[in-house]
Structure 1
Amino acid sequence: MSYTFDFYSVTQNLRPLLEGLIVTLELTLVANAIGLTLGFVVALLSMSRLAVFRVPAMLFVEFFRCTPAVVQIIWFFYCVPILFNVFLGSITMAVLALGLNLTAFNAEAYRAAIQAVPREQMDAGIALGLNPLQRVLYIVLPTALRNSVPVLMTNGIGIFQQSALVALVAVPDLMYAGKSLATETYRPIETFTVVAFIYFAISFPISQIVGYFERRREAAAS
Structure 2
Amino acid sequence: MSSSILFVSNERGKVIFLTSRDVLVKSFCSLSNTCSFQDSCRSCDMVDAAKSHLMGTRSNLNIKNLDGELSAGIGEYKIGKNVLLKVMGLGSCIGVILSDVSTGLCGIAHVLLPGASNNGETKYAETAIEKMFEDMVKMGARKNRITAKFAGGAQVFKHMNLDILKIGDRNAISVEETLIKRNIPILAKDVGGEVGRNVIFNPADGSMIVKYTKGEVLWL
Short-chain TM bin: under 0.3
Give the structure-1-normalised TM-score.
Answer: 0.25
User: What TM-score, normalized by structure 2, do the two folds share?
Assistant: 0.25
More strand by share: 2
Q: Which has the higher contact order (CA 8 A, sep 6+)?
A: 1
| Bigger CA radius of gyration | 1
